[in-house]
């Protein structure tokens, strides 16, 4: 089945021409005589008895060389699906549904009041090793159009029937009762979250990645498989054609389906375009180099919607692109992503014990909560922290004590009084004379 739906390289369509590639030679590096000279003198077309190839052949050779180099790099790149982003109308309501009905944990939350939105990250394990959900709430917007192009999210559970019972007890909507799939024996069910996003519950346990699937509909499956294999470096794990139901699926990912989150691309016979709505946003994928990634996406027909580079404020390097069906993907620098997680890890709950005169920073050091400024200046080795960055919470004030962010993030409020991040804490002596 797989071989019947995968086009050859010669049938692949390119968009946007050839960019100055970091992977290999581009058109600009080939020196050719003017066309007038090529046509007026046959001597210019021969060198030691060898005919110079036509311009079109040179372009094709350059393209093929750049693509080959890009493919080699993509295979070595450490890529992983990081999170899926979509918009919801009531953040607290949705967080409650995912935590109480599906057993997810609220991993972190950040509010950006000047841009009028809030994010909540939920999942079944730490973001540095698990695929998670990023919910976005835009101030004042309580409803979105999900559209017909988005399919569903897949969640592996130990017992589908019990999970469905719990969802019903919590007032959730079940759209397909538990039972085997149409083609196979795996037990599944379909439910909807409070905003109407469909969730497929899959009876598969134990599993290291419960949030296991994102299904999107595409208009040309051959084209999509080719693009995700070459531009994204995904592996075609399996295909399944169901002529009686008039659809074909392709499972794409960065590792075995039972251990990693995957992308399920669905082609419905004869349907080439879908309405996307404005609810679903994108998938984020980690990469070792956003600049090389962007060049590779261009070479294989993708459209770059955000040129690679650091985001303002947090300096995380990203690039964003669209595939041929206009599904958006954001690639995030792997190292920058880990740094961002360190900075936005949840802070300890505040307590207000009596101040101490000790200058030794240790677990249990007293902390105090006061009104926060917009920006807190830090040690010279790290940038200033915005109050809404996730590290400095509203109500915190002071300055960073540590010079090594991986040792400890801490805000000094007074002599012997600190706000500590317990996740990365290590004992630290502080010089009171340093201001």
For residue 435, name the pLDDT band (cuts at 50, 70, 90). very low
HSE value, Cβ hemisphere, 13 Å, CA-based, for 380: 2
Phi and psi based region of residue 313 (left: phi greater than 0; alpha: psi -120 to 50; beta: remaining): left
200 is in an annotated binding site: yes
Distances (CA, A) of 390 to 24, 26, 341: 41, 43, 9
391-398 contacts, C-beta under 8 A, 24 or more apart: 391/343, 391/344, 391/345, 391/347, 391/421, 393/347, 395/350, 395/369, 395/370, 395/371, 396/347, 396/369, 396/370, 396/372, 397/370, 397/371, 397/372, 397/373
User: Looking at the predicted structure, is the pLDDT value of residue 318 above 80?
Assistant: yes
pLDDT tens-digit series, residues 150-203: 999 999 999 999 999 999 999 899 999 999 998 789 999 999 999 999 999 999
Segment (H or E) for 94: helix 91-102
Amino acid 373: pLDDT: 36
User: What is the mean predicted confidence (pLDDT) over 57-64?
Assistant: 84
For residue 342, name the pLDDT band (cuts at 50, 70, 90).
Answer: confident
Torsion, Cα of 312, 315, 318, 320 (10° steps): -10
Which has the closest alpha carbon to 278: 401, 173, 143?
143
pLDDT (0 to 100) of residue 315: 85
Q: What pLDDT score does 371 carry? A: 34
Mean pLDDT score, 136-159: 97
pLDDT band at 411 (very low <50, low <70, confident <90, very high): low
What number is the average pLDDT over the span 111-136? Answer: 94
Mean pLDDT of 41-68: 64
Is the model's pLDDT at 415 over the cut of 90? no
Q: What DSSP state is assigned to residue 279?
A: S
| Distance of alpha carbon 149 from alpha carbon 274, whole angstroms | 5
- Angle, nearest 10°, between helix axes 290-299 and 55-76? 140
Beta pairing partners, 111: 118
Tell whether 134 is in a known binding site: yes
Residues 242-286: tens digit of each pLDDT? 999 999 999 999 999 999 999 999 999 999 999 999 999 999 999
pLDDT at res. 229:
97
What's the rounded Cα separation, in Å, for the pair 281 and 218? Answer: 16
Look at residue 403 in the predicted model and tell me its pLDDT. Answer: 37
Give residue 179's pLDDT: 97
Looking at the predicted structure, is the pLDDT value of residue 421 above 70? no
* Predicted local confidence at residue 406, as pLDDT: 39
Q: Specify the higher pLDDT residue, 215 or 411.
A: 215
Average of per-residue pLDDT values in the chain: 77
Q: What is the pLDDT of residues 390-406, one digit of tens each?
A: 443 433 333 444 334 43
Q: Which of residues 152 and 427 earns the better pLDDT score?
A: 152
Q: What is the mean pLDDT of residues 320-340?
A: 96
Catalytic positions are: 200
Band (pLDDT 50/70/90 cuts) for residue 13 is very low
Model pLDDT, residue 419: 52
Check residue 417 and give its pLDDT: 47
Euclidean distance between the first and the last CA atom of the chain, given in angstroms as a whole number: 68
**pLDDT, tens digit, 9 for 90 and up, residues 356-393:** 444 444 444 444 333 333 343 333 333 333 333 444 34
**pLDDT-based confidence at 210, cuts 50/70/90?**
very high
The mean per-residue pLDDT over the stretch 102-130 comes to 93
Single pTM value for the model: 0.69
pLDDT band for 62, please (50, 70, 90 cuts).
confident
The domains located in the chain, with CATH, are 80-344 (3.10.180.10), 365-427 (2.30.30)
Contacts of 43 (CB under 8 A, 6+ apart): none
Residue 317 pLDDT: 97
| Per-residue pLDDT tens over the stretch 87-101 | 999 999 999 999 999
Cβ contacts of 86 within 8 Å, gap of 6 or more: 133, 134, 135, 136, 197, 279, 280, 281
Q: Is the pLDDT of residue 224 over 90?
A: yes
């Amino acid at each position: 089945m797989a071989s019947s739906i995968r086009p050859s390289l010669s049938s692949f369509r390119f968009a946007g021409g050839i960019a100055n590639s970091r992977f290999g030679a581009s058109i600009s590096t080939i020196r050719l005589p003017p066309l007038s000279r090529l046509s007026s003198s046959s001597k210019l077309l021969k060198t030691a008895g060898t005919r110079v190839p036509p311009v079109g052949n040179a372009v094709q050779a350059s393209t093929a060389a750049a693509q080959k180099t890009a493919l080699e790099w993509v295979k070595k790149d450490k890529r992983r699906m990081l999170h899926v982003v979509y918009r919801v109308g009531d953040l607290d309501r949705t967080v409650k549904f995912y935590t109480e009905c599906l057993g997810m944990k609220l991993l972190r939350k950040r509010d950006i009041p000047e841009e009028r939105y809030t994010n909540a990250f939920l999942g079944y394990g730490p973001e540095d090793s698990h695929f998670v959900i990023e919910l976005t709430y835009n101030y004042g917007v309580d409803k979105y159009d999900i559209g017909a192009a988005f399919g569903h999210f897949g969640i592996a559970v130990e017992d589908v029937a019990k999970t469905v019972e719990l969802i019903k007890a919590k007032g959730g909507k079940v759209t397909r009762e538990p039972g085997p799939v149409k083609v196979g024996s795996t037990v599944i069910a379909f439910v909807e979250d409070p905003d109407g996003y469909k969730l497929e519950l899959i009876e598969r346990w134990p599993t290291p990645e419960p949030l296991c699937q994102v299904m999107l509909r595409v208009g040309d499956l051959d084209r999509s498989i080719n693009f995700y294999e070459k531009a994204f470096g995904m592996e075609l794990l399996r295909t399944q054609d169901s002529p009686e139901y008039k659809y074909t699926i392709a499972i794409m990912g960065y590792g075995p389906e039972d251990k990693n989150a995957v992308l399920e691309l669905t082609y419905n016979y004869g349907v080439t375009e879908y309405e996307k709505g404005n609810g679903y946003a994108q998938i984020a994928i980690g990469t070792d180099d956003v600049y090389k990634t962007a060049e590779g996406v261009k070479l294989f027909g993708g459209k770059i919607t955000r040129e690679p580079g650091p985001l303002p404020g947090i300096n995380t390097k990203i690039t964003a692109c669209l595939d041929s069906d206009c599904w958006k993907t954001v690639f995030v620098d792997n190292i920058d992503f880990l740094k961002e997680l360190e900075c936005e890890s949840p802070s300890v709950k505040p307590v207000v014990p009596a101040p101490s005169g000790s200058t030794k920073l240790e677990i249990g050091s007293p902390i105090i909560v006061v009104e926060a400024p917009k920006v807190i200046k830090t040690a010279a080795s790290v940038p200033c922290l915005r109050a809404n960055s996730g590290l400095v919470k509203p109500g915190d004030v002071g300055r960073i004590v540590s010079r090594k962010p991986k040792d400890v993030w801490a805000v000094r409020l007074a002599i012997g009084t600190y706000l500590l991040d317990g996740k990365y804490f290590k004992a630290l002596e502080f010089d009171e004379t340093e201001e």
